[in-house]
Each structure stands twice: as C-alpha cells, then as structure tokens.
Structure 1
Amino acid sequence: MKKIFFYILATGCLAGFSSCKKFLDVTASNQIKSEDLLSNESGFKDALMGVYIGMGQYNNYGAMQSYIATDILAQQYKPMVNLSIYFQLQAYNYQHQAARKYTDMFWDLYKTIAGINNALTQIDKQQTVFNPINFKVIKGELLALRAFLHFDLLRLYGHENYQGRPDLASFPAIPYITTYGKGVTPQKTYAETFALLLKDIQEATVLLHEDPIYPNTSRPANYYTSVNVDGFYNNRNSRMNYYAVKALEARVYTWMGGTANLQKAAQAAREVIDNGTAKLINSNNSGSTDRSFAAEHIFHLEVYSLALWAGALKSGSAADYNALFVDETAFNTIYELNDPQVGAVDKRQIVQFVQDGNGRTPVKLAAAPGQTSNKFLPVMRVSEMYYIEAEYELVNNREKAIQLLNEVRRSRGILKDIPESATADQVKLELTKEYQKDFSAEGQLFFYYKRNGFDTFRGLPSTIKGDDKLYMLPYPQNELELGNRVQ
C-alpha cells in the first residue's frame, strides 16, 4: 500500500507544487514516509492534485474509462474485425487475454483510492496546520472522490439492473475501502456499500458548503483572498466541487432505483440545474469551436495528453483495424438525419463529428480548427441532470418529463419537440436516444444500459443477450484467488 501511495505522490508532483518538489529533492524515494509529506497543508494539496492526475491517466478516465473501453462496450463504434486489439472486448469475451488487458486495468482505480485513504487517515490529525477553509474543502474533495471512484468500480464490476433486483441488496458488492494499510478489506453487501457511498457523499456535501462555488451571501468579498494566492480555488469545475458531489448523489440514487430514491436523485439534480455554474449551451455560452460544450461541464479532468491519446478516434483507412469511429448508417440512425427538424440541425452531429474516411469520427475531445489543443475531458455534464430528473418525472408527471427533454433538445438546436401526447414508452425511447446522442466519447452510455437492464441495445449482435455475463466485468484473477472475492 505504501508503494501505491508513492505512485500517487509521484504523479501528483507533476502538478508542480513547490513543497512536493522540495521534499523529493532532499529525500530518497525509498525513504519517504507519507506521514512526513502529510505534515503540512501543502503536502495535502500535493496529494489531492495527485489524485486528479492519476484519474486522468490513459488507463483510467484519460482514455480507457471514457471514450475507449466503456464506449466500445456500449457498441458506440463500428464492429471490429478480429485483427483489432479491441475485438475480444467488443465481443464481451472477457476471459480472453486480449480482453482481460482492458477489464483488469480498471481495478487500478484502487491505487488512487489508496492515496485518498492515506490522506484521509492523516488529515484529522493534522487539522491544526490548515486554514479552516482549506481543511473543509480538501477533506470534502477527498471524501467525494473516494465515493466517486468506488461508485464507478461498482458500475463496472457490479451486477446489472440493481433497481429491478431486490435480492441483490444482500449479495456481496465490490470492496469499499475506507482504511489505509496492507490488510484485505472484506466485501460488504450492496445495501451496506450504498450506505458507505452515501455517507461519504453526505459528509462531503456538508464540508463543501465552504466551496467558493457554493452560494453563500454572508461571506465577505475577500473571504477567499488569502487562501487563493496560489490559485488553488481557480477553475472549480476541474475539481470535485460541491455541485459535482450533488451530481454524484443524483447518479447513485438513480442507480439504486425505486420511487423514493429516484425522487432524491431528482432533487439533487434540480439543485445542480438551478444553482450550479454549469448551464445548457446557448448562443451566448457556446460556439462552433466549443466541441465538448464546456459550459455544461459540472466536472471535467484536465488531461494534457488528451489530444495525443484521442488519436484513436479516427476513421481513415480501412486497413487501420484499431480506429474508433461510427459507421455512416449507424450515425444516420442515431442522430435521425432523415428528419430535417431533428438530426440535420442537431449541434451534436454538426460540431462533434467529422465525416471522413469510412464514417464519422467523434471530435468532441479534439481542438476545433484554429484552436489550441483541448485538455478538458468531461466527466459530468448538466444535461445528465435533466435526464435524471426526467426519468423520475416520467412516472409522476409525464408532461414535465417531456418538458425537461425538450429543453435539452432545443439547446442542441432541435426544432421539433417531443409532443405532449407522447406515451410513457415513447418518452422512454426519446430519453434513450438522448443518452446515445449526448454521451459520445464519454463512456456513460454503457452505464445507462446496465442500470436499466437493457437485454439488447443498438449495435448489440442478436446472438448476445444483455445480462450479468455481458455487463459485469470480471474481477482480476488474483483478487478471486488471493482476496477470496465473490462476484
């Protein structure tokens, strides 16, 4: 576990914090004690930044857990030929070595969690070295990140359609690790795991009332001046800010399902919509060069190698077996290009794809012509909050659900509304279409299918059924053997 922490520390040093550099200049790497690093406020800042940098690595959200592996699992791209490095993954042949290369790597998120837990183990002991504002915000972010990463591990390795399978509540879920050490953390039930998730989220929510992004009119104008001399509070949507925690809360309650939980999800989503800084795009906050709709980002990661890594998204030559793109027929179907009032005017298909080679290439993560390279990878966007609220209202107030979906559609330039007379099934279909259109190259569509237990979806071969065998990534073999895990 100490080696894991040092890995997080080393990546955190890349952020350029002077205290981390100074510490490493005078201490050999094999002699560093985390207690020494985490003895002052700067050390905790370094550790926190290391978490974000670790999350942005290629094997994590920087590529695999966003626009590559998880989107491949959602059949977002053309069918692969057997010469492709992704062929076995797209075919859900998880036991094949070529697929295990990708499914096992997500377990590395526990390395990042180890760094978080080490910092949380120390932070209360060191509270006296903090400015009170920084203490609350740093601890709040760490707790929120711990919940965020565990939840994504649950979404990857857990069972499908949890909301429709009450028997799963007593079944073992992923290990939810809250300590720092060498011991093996036993699995808890799904019910216990969700309770731990919500505990971290709720504690983070309270602490992040101190976040500059949280509206508090009682603060004096210079409240953050002294604590932000190093720019620590700039660009809050690049960090796990207060509204990102509320968005996570909305995701978790939606995954849990049931009327009461969906209502709580909708309430959290509405708070983000009403009070958060992320807003649906319009003519004032978005243009033709804003391919990722940055105004909508509740939380994004700054990935400085994004332009290089996103080079996998290309159509190009038919001989490029590893290229990831959408074939023309599928693209026309998804974005409804046959309807001039829907697909032809949808900003998503206009600015987020280019037509070249063999089909349509997603360019959401690439710089627009004349623009410097993009480094922002969206992790949570406000449109998802509209969809989450609409899902709750679909059962309680179908007219309001339709209104919410139409609000997002209009922001994308769509001229034809979903009619008020649409049935619940028709609205559900339109909601699915929105997820398919909105989350290209973001890795969220697979989780939508999994959460709702889709037994089939667009692009899935008729010979494959959407069930636990498809939706549950297998635990790494050494976890099953040495950790005595149950899946």
Structure 2
Amino acid sequence: MKTLKYIIVVLLLPALTNTSCKDYLNVKPKTEMTQEELFSTEGGFKDALNGVYIQMKGTNVYGRDMTMTTIEHLISSWDGDAIISTKVPYKLAHFNYTDVDAERSLSAIYGAEYKIIASINAILDHIDENRFVFRSPGVYETVKAECLAMRAYCHLDILRLFGPIPTDVNTGNKLAYVIHLSKTPNPLLSFAAFQEALLKDLDEAERLVKDIDPIVKNIAPTDAYFANRNLKMNYYAVKALQARAYLWFNNKGKAYECAKMVIDAKDSNGNPMFRLGKLADMSAKDYVLTCEHIFGLHDFALYTKYSSLYANGSLRKGSDNSIINSQLYGNTGTDIREANLWELITLPQSVLQGYVLKKYKVDESGTNFKQIPLLRISEMYMIAIETGQAADAQLLWTTFRSARGLQQNTLPADPVLIQNELLKEYRKEFYAEGQAFFAYKRLNAAQANVLFVPGEATLNYLIPMPKTEAN
C-alpha cells in the first residue's frame, strides 16, 4: 500500500523521473497515513500542501543550494572553499561538471526538485476526485492553484539550471515535465513542449484564484489558512512567475504585461502592494527587504544558517574593499546595498579578514525577517525595464535607482546595452538568492560580463543531466 508521511509528503522520485528502480527512496516515517486517509479531509489537503512548503526549505533546494551555495558557486560568489582546487565550490566555479563531487551536488538539486514535484502531484492526483471534502469557500481553488504554480516554479528552475540556453534551444538537455505520479518513465520534452506545459499550469493557477485570493480582494481572511499570503504562492506570485517564465521564453510582451501588473498592484489604501525597499528598511535591520517579497519562505532556522555559513566566514567575498565596494558596487558611496549589506569580519582562529553578506542576518530569538525570497518586486522592475517601451523603462529605472540610493542616469538606447546594465544589477540585487546565474545564462552572457568568474575558467552554462538519468 502506498503511504505518505503525514504533513511532509515523501514520495518515490523514480516513479516520476527517469531514474532506475534501485534509486527508490526508502523512508520509514514515524507516522504513516494512506493517501486515501490523508486526502479524505480538507485538513489533510492543507497539511499536505504545508508539507510541500516545508520541502521547499530543504538543504538541496531553496533553503541553501538553490539560493545561497551551489547556484552561487557557479558564478564565484564566494571565496573560502571556492579558492581551494580540491573543493567542490572550486570545481563548480570552474564549470568542472565531470568531477564526481560537483556532479553529485548538482544531482542533489535535480532530485530534490523532482521530489517536491512528486509531493505536489500526489495532491493534484486526488484533489478533483475529492473536491467534495472541501467545506470552506475558496480552499479547493487555492490549494489547487498553489500546487499548479509551485509545480511550474520547480520545473522552471530545473529547466533554467539543466536545460538549454534560451537563445539556442536545440543545444542542451531535454527534460521531463511531470504531471502525474507514475512508475512509467516520463517522456523528455522539446523546449517548446516543456514551455507549453509550464505556461498551462500557470494559466490554470491564475484562473483559479484571480477573483478569490484575499491578497487581491484586499480583505482580512476569515480562515487562518489564508493568512500571510506573501509566504504562499498567491495570485501576484503566480503573475510574477509568469513574468519570469515569459522572459525566459523570450516573450517580451507578455513578460512586461505580467511584471507591470504586479508593480502596479495596490492595497486597500491605494499604496503599492509590494514596494521597493529603501534605506529605512535596512536601518531597521530588514536586510532581506521583506517588503519586496511577492513570495518567500519563512525559515525558522535562518539564524542558524547565518551563523554556520556567513558569520564564521565560510561564505565570504574579498578581504578588502576592492572586491565588494569597487568591483561589485562601483564605489558609489550612496548605494544602500553597498553601505549596509556587507561587513568585514576577522575569520575565526585567524588574523585574516573577509567580507560577509548580512542579507540573512537575523536575531536568534525573534521571528522578524526570517524569510528567504523566491520572487521579489525588484525582479519585476528588472523584467519590465528590459521589456518595456523606452519611456516607461526609463521611469521604472529611475524609480529603482532612487530606492537604492543611486544617482539618476539615462538608459542607453541599444537593447543589448540595457541588458548589460541590468546584468550588473542582477549581480548586486540577488546576491545569495540564486538569480544572477540564471540572468547570465538566459542572455548567454560573455565571460567578460560575468563578474568574478575566474579568468582561467571556460564559461559553460550547459550543465549535464545527472548520471542517474543517463540510463
């Protein structure tokens, strides 16, 4: 009998990817529930979906590897182990994908993403046939929409990491878009077919919640399940993910439309639903700028992660201001990120110093700001600036630079030069969030435009399929 771990839905990865039977994940949970039991109540569906959010905070996905470490090692965001030739970060920074340990670290991401998709599909495979168990208004639509959107979110990241460069979709891996639990291997899709499946999920998610999500209706939810919508895949998060996806698929018109809709969204008082963070936010020690989070994960362990990764110097960059202040920010003297996001520390048991990022620095006892951003309003500005008409792009550019404390300038007329300007901002803005690598890959950026990449490295955006998939 198929069993599911209660709350955290643990499923068999090979049932939906192309891995062999020997790779089955055997888990003996303390509390087991059959799928029939779990999905026999509205509460069971809620618990299963909460389990998906917990999975997304896992080490191999957005709790570390897809935000702070592995994905950032690919663009040499850190020193430490990344400058020791025998260490995995060094291998990743030099695009040595054949190294067994580097391959293992990337395979772990691949497997973890598909395990999240497995848990999502377990819910979706039951939700329509058991719709009658939903008693509270809007819960069925919300649960289904969040599942569809998160399935698209994970698939898009699999595509962005392991798929082809969008400017050359015929060179690189084909991937499976998995929509059901099955022991039958899933077909590997063309780029166009993968795109169609992903956008279909997002379109259906949008349709389900656009008229009922409390975040859209600007009303206080009557069901506690609908609280803290920016920590769930809400309607605006769906639109933001559409913007990200359309940009990857080079549909600039749709990317602009979706991004601008989120930028223009207003709350019940007529204020921006999601606003750009400013100096006052960082002065209040909100270094991760939670006001910008369209969708993020609340991570109770963030203090521990900061202590073990940053505060001890494991993830650091440079030992003097020539790296952070000069190369990254250009010695503006006014950029709020330059002035507030980094600090120089003395490394433990050493006289050496290094700059560490304060983005995830939080108080141990408090709950404020313990969020990992997955979709931010600043990204919507970047997308709209790249895809919008000149006048609107300039206005958005001016607004963004003002929020970051930068002097105003005029965007170049050449679209390629605009993209180069935005690449610099992706590098500054999304440090330790995993988005800069994807920006470089999407544009197939030349090595000269990829800040910090080792001069002796050969830039390679095409990551091979995990060896577990080769058979």
The normalised TM-score by structure 2 is 0.85
Match of 2:168 in 1: 165
Name the counterpart of 1:6.
5
Query: What's 1:434 paired with?
Result: 425
Instruction: Give 1:241's aligned residue.
Output: 234
1:356-388 C-alpha deviation (Å, 9 max, x unpaired) = 233321110111699667521111110100110
Once residues 147 and 233 of structure 2 are traced to their aligned partners in structure 1, the CA distance between those partners, rounded to angstroms, is 8
Is residue 2:114 matched to residue 1:119? Answer: no
Q: Say which of 291, 294, 298 aligns to 1:302.
A: 298
2:451 matches 1:458: yes
TM-score by structure 1 length?
0.82
Matched letter for residue 140 of structure 1: A
| C-alpha distance in structure 1 between counterparts of 2:409 and 2:117, whole Å | 43
1:142, CA displacement in angstroms?
A: 0.6
Tell me what 2:99 maps to.
96
Q: Residue 163 of structure 2 contacts residue 173 of structure 2 at CA under 8 Å; is this kept in 1? A: no
**What whole-Å deviation, never above 9, does each CA across 1:334-375 have from its counterpart, x for those lacking one?**
44353xxxx211111222211223332111011169966752
In 1, Cα distance between equivalents of 2:145 and 2:256: 22
Cα displacement string for residues 149-168 of structure 1 (whole angstroms, at most 9, x for unaligned residues): 111111111112x1x22646
Aligned residue for 2:373, secondary structure, equals: strand
Mapped contact 1:158–1:173 kept (Cα < 8 A): yes
The reply to whether residue 281 of structure 1 matches residue 277 of structure 2 is: yes
* CA–CA separation in structure 2 for the residues paired with 1:121 and 1:51: 15
The answer for unaligned runs of 5 or more in structure 2 is: 12-27, 267-272, 347-352
DSSP-derived class of the 2:343 partner? strand
* Matching residue of 1:205: 206
Structure 1 vs Structure 2 CA RMSD: 2.7
Q: Which residue identity is paired with 1:117? A: N
1:176 positional shift: 0.4
Task: String of CA shifts for 1:441-462, please: whole Å, max 9, x gaps.
Answer: 1111000000100131111223
Gaps of 5+ in 1: 13-26, 482-487
Are 1:109 and 2:113 an aligned pair? yes
| Identity in percent | 33
Distance 1:422 1:297 in 2: 31
User: Distance between the aligned counterparts of 1:249 and 1:351, measured in 2?
Assistant: 31
Residue 265 (structure 1) aligned with residue 255 (structure 2)? yes
Q: Write out per-residue CA displacement over residues 163-221 of structure 1, whole angstroms, 9 at most, x where no aligned residue.
A: x22646xx8621100011222111111101100000000000011122111137xxxx6
Distance change >3 Å, CA 308–CA 420, structure 1 → 2: closer
- 1:276-326 CA distance string (max 9 Å, x none): 62111246766431111110011111122122223354376xxx7x44334
Q: Per the alignment, do residues 60 and 380 of structure 1 end up closer, same or farther by CA in structure 2, a change over 3 Å counting? A: same
CA distance in 2, matches of 1:479, 1:335: 38
Is 1:354 equivalent to 2:359 in the alignment?
no
- For 1:295 and 1:93, locate their aligned partners in 2 and report how far apart those are by CA, in whole Å: 38
Partner amino acid, structure 2, of 1:173: K
- Give the count of matched residue pairs: 435
| Per-residue CA distance 1:223-266 (angstroms, 9 max, x = gap) | x42xx1xx211111101011111111001110011xxx111000
Paired residue for 2:469? 479
Secondary structure of residue in 1 paired with 2:344: strand
Displacement, 1:333?
2.8
Q: Deviations over 1:55-83 (max 9, x none)?
A: 00111100111011111112222352225
Q: Is the 8 A contact 1:347 1:412 kept in 2?
A: yes
Stretch deviating more after TM superposition (365-374 or 326-335): 365-374
CA distance in 1, matches of 2:299, 2:209: 24
Q: Could you tell me which residue of structure 2 aligns to residue 383 of structure 1? A: 378
Are the aligned partners of 1:238 and 1:299 in contact in 2 as well (CA < 8 Å)? yes
1:413 equivalent in alignment to 2:405: yes
